[in-house]
Structure 1
Amino acid sequence: MTAGLLTLTALSGTAFAQSVNLTFLTTTGADDLAIAEELVSRFEAANPDINIDIETRPGGSEGDNLVKTRLATQTMADVFLYNSGSLFQAINPAQFLVDLTNEPWQANVQNSFKQVVTAPDGTVRGAPIGAAMGGGIYYNKPIYEELGLSVPKTWDEFMANNEKIKAAGKVAVAQTYGDTWTSQLFVLADYYNVSAKDPSFASRYTANEAKFATEPAALRGFEKLQAVYEAGYLNEDFGAAKYEDGARMVASGEAAHYPMLTFATTAIATNYPDLIDNVGFFAQPGDDAALNGLTVWMPAGLYIPQTSPNVEAAKKFVAFVASIEGCDAQTAAVGASGPYLVNGCTLPDDVPPAVSDLLPYFGEGGQNGPALEFLSPVKGPALEQITVEVGSGIRSAADGAALYDEDVRKQAQQLGLPGW
């Protein structure tokens, strides 16, 4: 009889262990879904007592509204993927999300990511999922080799390289204002240089205490746009060329440089596989080589709602995602597009040079920091039109920065931010 009871108890324990079911909400994007499926497959294999069902949501504003509604109505999945940075702040993380500050795996998450999933009360509420993107400048390696150029760490060095490239009869900098969003890079990718000189800029900017037009470090991005135009370094069709043209030009050697986010590496590898090894990448140079670093567009975060009935199991899954094994699963799912923000995670040896060029900025002693849009909710909608004007010689850097400050004021008032 005793043996029978023990057997029944053991079977009941097994049945109970098998009964933990989690839901994981991700987006309908092909990469996000592929990553979710690979992570769940590997996690379930290592944790047979936990089953995970994947749910999907749309992206954009429709997805934002759905996330906010499900949090407010206490119907959110046990684990969900959502933006980091200012959109993360907009979902009231201290009210709705589980505090993950003291989880052991946080010791391996890079601080640059932690700051974009930190609630107003100072607690860390998320884990990274996906790879980081850099904002900076692609360059054509054969042109650099032909002309004996070195990767610049200051703006003066970059402009000296451009002058040598122009003297050799080549296009120094491709710009693609036919897609107006691409005109913003020299301003947005310069933010690491701003924060290196003024770590308080983001908070003062959000509080209406700092302006692009009146802060010399912030004005520099607009000045850089003006400088490359006035020096005659651009392709003749810069006003009509589009993003795809810029990617082609830097890959083929039609241009030596193209300022862009590193997601373009995937497009170059897909469209010009024979040329991908010709393309390198470096952070947008500032004015001090000792402060050289990379402006980073942070990956999304993984979060647990406080309403989850399975918080401990959900924490176990999040810990897996924020581990070396989790990084490897993501690489297996979609390939290597950039560095992970988890210490110890590595990429395959055969990644494109533009990806491997990113890694030193994230390694031991590397310098990286979030783009301003991850630290402040204030980003005026007219920036891309203003940067086209400055980058085309229509408006001066100073006038462009002042106009953008006015654009920002309207947006901040719409958001109801204090001090505006």
Structure 2
Amino acid sequence: MRFRPGTSGLALLAAGSLVLTACSAGSLGSSSDSGSKGSVEITYLIGNQDQDIKEANQLIKDFTAKNPGITIKTETRPAGTEGDNIVKTRLSTGDMPDVFGYNTGSLFQAIAPQKNLVSISDQPYIGNLDDNFKKTVTADGQVYGVPVGGFMGGAVLYSIPVYQKLGLKVPKTWAEFMANNAKIKAQDPGVAPVIQTYGETWTSQLFVLGDFHNVSAVDPSFADDYTANKAKYATNPAALKGFEHTEAVHDAGYENKDFASAKLPDGLKMLATGKGAHYPNLSGVVANMVATYPDAAKTVGLFALPGDDASKNGLTLWTPGGLYIPKTTTGDKLDAAKKFLAFVASPDGCASQTTAGAPTGPYAVKGCTLGNDVPQAIKDMQPYLDKPGASSLALEFLSPVKGPSLEQITVEVGSGIRKAKDGAARYDEDVKKQAQQLGLAGW
């Protein structure tokens, strides 16, 4: 379930728009010199969105300042399926640049890391990588990648002034969340308790996808069972909750009146201006909101989607993209590539990325800090990562099973057109074709 705005599944936000990986638009083969001339030159394959290029150039600048004997050139590649195919083709033909950025999770597994990538499990910094991230770049017990960028959380963005005005507390259970919504509707009728923006259908999925920490907390084996066709959304009570919550918010009349047509910019405006109290979304939208409404850096906070058990309250995470070395990189180039990865996976590397652009969430490297200038909503993510057991991966990083129609289904459930159980059953049917195409056992 890879979130991509305008498509089915999950997406990442970069440079103010959701983008979940290092993929970006551009033409393969363009390159630029970066850093000072040295005795070893390596090439770094990156995405071609402005923020990707800005981030890569800043990393190269700061790295080569410390390593003047190494020069790094960049190449770019397209986004989406075209970019995926280029990565797979260049790996299979032995034509991959010395270092490249790519997805984590199921798409990482699809490029046969054991065959194509250099293991970095023996590097001393591996112990400093966040465990959630390491899971997404590990195959057969070997770690192959370091993180570029910060985590994103599937969470609830909320209006701090509305909470202060009504004396509300951040909820840790769904019952507390709904009680807050009831109080907002009763005492401040000019404020929509829950913002929904079904004019951009991908935004309708958060109550389901952002709830996966709660699913895992109740049923730790769900991801594996789901992959093996042994668990279903419609028949697993914990997994069904996300659909039920989507339905409950609509049935209680908590959505904004224009939920059916409103789009992401409308939702961000409502939240930033206090016309809406809660907006279930990815933390990656925060940068875009703050760019348009600077005061939102202080007036909008974030909390994890609450479940039934306050003691298990936690945040569902989307991990950063990964940086990898292909096995075709050897000799002095391999040594240089490993040094570059070590820099990226260090506090200095995180600081370099922060210089290039505000992080979408906490970094996946221990010792890295967000600084004081990031928006409050991003700061609110850090405690979940710091507390053991208070964060876990989104399902897309644990299972390759996904379907194209989830966003249409959640729009129907959230609009009162389809009941939660029916929507969940429809999505269970929706994933079958893709699972069969992947040749997964049990389908």
Q: RMSD over aligned Cα, in angstroms?
A: 1.2
Q: Equivalent residue for 2:84? A: 64
Query: Does the Cα contact within 8 Å between 2:211 and 2:316 map onto a contact in 1?
Result: yes
Q: CA separation in 1, counterparts of 2:387 and 2:147?
A: 19
Q: CA separation in 1, counterparts of 2:73 and 2:382?
A: 34
* Deviation (angstroms), 1:366: 6.3
* Deviation (angstroms), 1:275: 3.5
Query: Does the Cα contact within 8 Å between 2:297 and 2:374 map onto a contact in 1?
Result: no
Query: Does the Cα contact within 8 Å between 1:336 and 1:348 map onto a contact in 2?
Result: no
**Residue 98 in 1 paired to residue 118 in 2?**
yes
- Find the residue that maps to 2:142 and give its secondary structure: coil
Q: Which amino acid aligns with 2:248?
A: A
Query: Does the Cα contact within 8 Å between 1:177 and 1:388 map onto a contact in 2?
Result: yes
Deviates more, 1:139-148 or 1:336-345: 336-345
Q: Any stretches of 5+ residues in structure 1 without a counterpart?
A: 1-16
TM-score (norm 2): 0.89
Q: CA separation in 2, counterparts of 1:29 and 1:418?
A: 37
Q: Deviations over 1:275-322 (max 9, x none)?
A: 332111111011111111111111000000011122222111101100
**Residue 343 in 1 paired to residue 363 in 2?**
no
Q: Which has the larger radius of gyration?
A: 1
Q: Which amino acid aligns with 1:417?
A: L
Q: Equivalent residue for 1:410? A: 433
TM-score (norm 1): 0.94
Q: CA separation in 2, counterparts of 1:117 and 1:275?
A: 34
**Residue 373 in 1 paired to residue 396 in 2?**
yes
Q: Deviations over 1:306-357 (max 9, x none)?
A: 1112222211110110000000000001123311010110012121111111
Q: CA separation in 2, counterparts of 1:288 and 1:366?
A: 13
- Find the residue that maps to 1:138 and give its secondary structure: strand
* Deviation (angstroms), 1:21: 1.2
Query: Does the Cα contact within 8 Å between 2:149 and 2:360 map onto a contact in 1?
Result: no
Deviating beyond 3 angstroms after TM superposition, the runs of 4 or more aligned structure 1 residues are none
Q: CA separation in 1, counterparts of 2:413 and 2:358?
A: 37
Q: Which amino acid aligns with 2:270?
A: M
Paired residues in the alignment total 403
Q: Deviations over 1:72-111 (max 9, x none)?
A: 0001111100010111111111110111122110110010
Q: CA separation in 2, counterparts of 1:364 and 1:275?
A: 26
Counterpart selection for 1:210 from 228, 231, 248: 231
Q: Equivalent residue for 1:117? A: 137
Deviates more, 1:177-186 or 1:331-340: 331-340
* Deviation (angstroms), 1:165: 0.5
Q: Equivalent residue for 1:107? A: 127
Counterpart selection for 2:45 from 5, 21, 25: 25
Matches within 5 A, 1:258-297: 258-297=279-318
Counterpart selection for 1:128 from 131, 147, 153: 147
Q: Equivalent residue for 1:154? A: 173
Query: Does the Cα contact within 8 Å between 1:251 and 1:268 map onto a contact in 2?
Result: yes
Q: CA separation in 1, counterparts of 2:63 and 2:428?
A: 47
**Residue 245 in 1 paired to residue 266 in 2?**
yes
**Residue 385 in 1 paired to residue 404 in 2?**
no
Query: Does the Cα contact within 8 Å between 2:272 and 2:295 map onto a contact in 1?
Result: no
* Deviation (angstroms), 1:18: 4.0
Q: Equivalent residue for 2:62? A: 42
**Residue 360 in 1 paired to residue 383 in 2?**
yes
Q: CA separation in 1, counterparts of 2:149 and 2:264?
A: 23
Query: Does the Cα contact within 8 Å between 1:277 and 1:352 map onto a contact in 2?
Result: yes
